[in-house]
Chain A
Amino acid sequence: MDSTNQYEQTAKMLDPLFRGHSKIEHARQARRNKFYLRDEHVTLSHGSGGKATHNLIEGIFAPAFSNPLLDRLDDAAVFMTGNGHMALTTDTYVVNPLFFPGGDIGKLAVHGTINDLAMAGAQPLYLSAGFILEEGFSIADLRRIVASMATAAHNAGVAIVTGDTKVVQRGKADGVFINTAGVGIVRTSRVTGQDQLQPGDKILLSGPIGDHGIAIMLAREMLDLECEIQSDSAPLHMLVAALLEAAGEGIHCMKDPTRGGVATSLNEMALASEVAITLDERAIPVRSEVRGACELLGLDPLTIANEGKLLAIVAPEVADRALVAMRAHPLGEEAAIIGAVQATPASMVFLHTDIGGTRVLDMLVGDPLPRIC
């Protein structure tokens, strides 16, 4: 890639400025400090998947439940069993509306959990499904959602093997909430995870970003736009399998950039691995409809949720092979190398803008759109 030089130049240019400037160094340190949760109430921002969610997890759950498996804060926990490594994950779905172009809450609940397992390099095997139903919810809609889950699970080759149902009074929930948990067998021998990034690594993205978040926004009729953007909800485990086949040991981290988008996912990696990441805005695929909607609403596609996209951080020597493998798969046809990892300035993400400037790319702050998954 000819952009390698460009990335290195930026890193070289920025590093002394960061180290030399005490005020800025101070702010950078403050960002990395363990967070002390000051809020008195839970607000919707805590569910955004962005900085507030991060703070809630770091401030309450992580210290209380602390153990070596949890402390890595990856999408799924990977542990040793008699027959090798297993991955375990869980996720809860509260999307509003329940049905949207390209999917529904049921499909999302199956794909989301499959994807969390896939990101740990696991072949998903079994899922559980828990339902919280609101009194008065339409049985026809429930039937539709369950059928959609069954189809999604069947197509992905996983089985829903256990479940639970609770009903609450009218007004105590919003239609239906679904929790799914999943287990899978880990196929890689190498440890992947968001703390495994190495300077020199390349950032691969499997396709255009922002489709899911914008599709939900349009489905809520917040925008009177004449265009149909479909949610990208899809199971990524087969794409991951193809990637593992092609790049194997060279894969250092995989992540599906859901809530908080690509910006938040990459910031989490930069923090966990203590490296810098530089992206090239021009290399990042975004559909023009999504870009248009983002321009109108003042949103950044990099912070918008995806439900069927994969970020893979790979060693430079396997980057081209990994890209070819991704592009050969239907879910990765528009895959691109969008950036690279440097050693310093640690824990920061930068963006080369479309016009040739550079800016910091931070995690999502606040919540542009609650309850998207």
Chain B
Amino acid sequence: MKFVDEYRDSTLIHHLAEETARLSQGRSFKFMEVCGGHTHTIYKHGIEDILPANIDLVHGPGCPVCVLPMGRIDDAISIARTEGVIFTTFGDMMRVPGSQGSLLDARADGADVRFVYSPLDALKLARQHPDRQVVFFAIGFETTTPSTAVTLLRAQAENIQNFSVFCNHVNIIPAIKAILDSPDLRLDGFVGPGHVSMIIGMRPYTFIARDHHKPVVISGFEPLDIMQSVYMITKQISEGRAEVENQYTRVVRPEGNVRALQAMARTMELRPFFEWRGMGFITQSALKLRPEFADWDAELRFQVPGIRVADPKACQCGEVLKGVIKPWRCKVFGTACTPETPIGTCMVSSEGACAAYYNYGRFSLAAERAQSLI
């Protein structure tokens, strides 16, 4: 298939792996792929089988479903159960467990929960059902934020009153900062998120190279993209450089997408702090609607409990999200926590490190390697 097969060229991938092995000879490195999309590709295609054994990929917090704390899911379910509400969400969110079940359970119990592919579909539902309140469960990093922003602008322009947004958009940079400041983990470089960078550009990552002296390579999502990015990071280290480089030049512009950033700035502003699953409260790490959009803010329109719920004791999503442990080292991995009966969020989304591990089972070499490293 055109524009896909080219990026899955086995010969090129193996060639890059050999070059990486040559550059990194005698040393071992830990690189974090920040984005859940990368984690998914790595497992789906078995990239770790091809990587040199001295390169370890650590999975980062860039899975939007995984980082949402239980309390927010409970809030969402509470809105969904409100009389007259049509609650819309992306498919992945349906199965994420709150403290009293998931949205899927709420739906089986009578709540009108529907899945949509875009917030604009939710707005369409609002137009079709003027007698109902349509709420969109907005989640995701900078990749999905612009579409929520555009939907809000349209709702405002058309003055659609029965539509609102339950905003849970988060920013990737504060999370990376939190990981770099965490004493748990030693990383040698970052595979930077491709789609997020398409919006925010390359500049926000500068501090990683400048202050922390770690290379960052913004990467695409095909196997060849990831292998090339790993090669580029290794090359930087071998040449004593720490810079922000762009492997995903076919999509990412250095300045990002200015119009998308403007739409975000018009509709949303930073929250002083926001809770991340397993990582605790991170300051200025999430967005809420601006006061001008209060009419479309579900948190103001509906009663939300807003109660902070502790993660289940057995669940180690926090450590997994920060890359401190490999998914299979979690106490409940694959036994009590599986994709069909998830305890932690990382087991729900296909971008979650645990689900990727479980479904695509990089049990084999990764398990052996991780054991020898830890």
Contacts and interface: CB of A to CB of B under 8 A. Distances in A.
Interface in A146-201: none
Contacts of A38: 341
Given A23-B329, A43-B105, A360-B361, A355 B1 contact: no
Contacts of A291: 1, 4
A154 B117 CA distance: 41
B364 A13 contact: yes
B62 interface: no
A362 B363 contact: no
Interface string B322-353: 00000011000111001111000000001000
Given A27-B328, A366-B339, A356 B10 contact: yes
Given A17-B368, A295-B4, A365-B339, A359 B108 contact: no
A335 B290 CA distance: 58
B1 A359 contact: no
B28 to A, nearest CB: 20
Contact of A357 (B46, B335, B338, B341): B46
Interface string B75-111: 0000000000000000100010000000011011100
Contacts, number: 114
Q: Point out which of B45, B47, B48 has the most chain A C-beta atoms below 10 A from its C-beta.
A: B45
B339 A357 contact: no
A21 interface: yes
A241 B185 CA distance: 61
Interface in B29-61: 43-50
Contacts of B50: 355-357
A136 to B, nearest CB: 20
Interface size class of A (residues with CB under 8 A): 35 or more
Contacts of A45: 104, 340
Nearest to A26: B335
A359 B46 contact: yes
Given A24-B328, A291-B4, A292-B1, A358 B46 contact: yes
A253 to B, nearest CB: 23
A31 B49 CA distance: 24
B179 interface: no
Nearest to B110: A41
Contact of A359 (B43, B104, B333, B368): B43
Nearest to B12: A355
B105 A40 contact: yes
A64 interface: no
Contacts of B45: 353-355, 357, 359
Contacts of B333: 23, 27
9 contacts: A30-B338, A31-B334, A31-B338, A51-B340, A348-B361, A358-B49, A359-B45, A359-B361, A368-B91
Closest 8 CB pairs of A and B: A357-B46, A360-B361, A27-B334, A41-B108, A357-B49, A359-B360, A365-B339, A353-B45
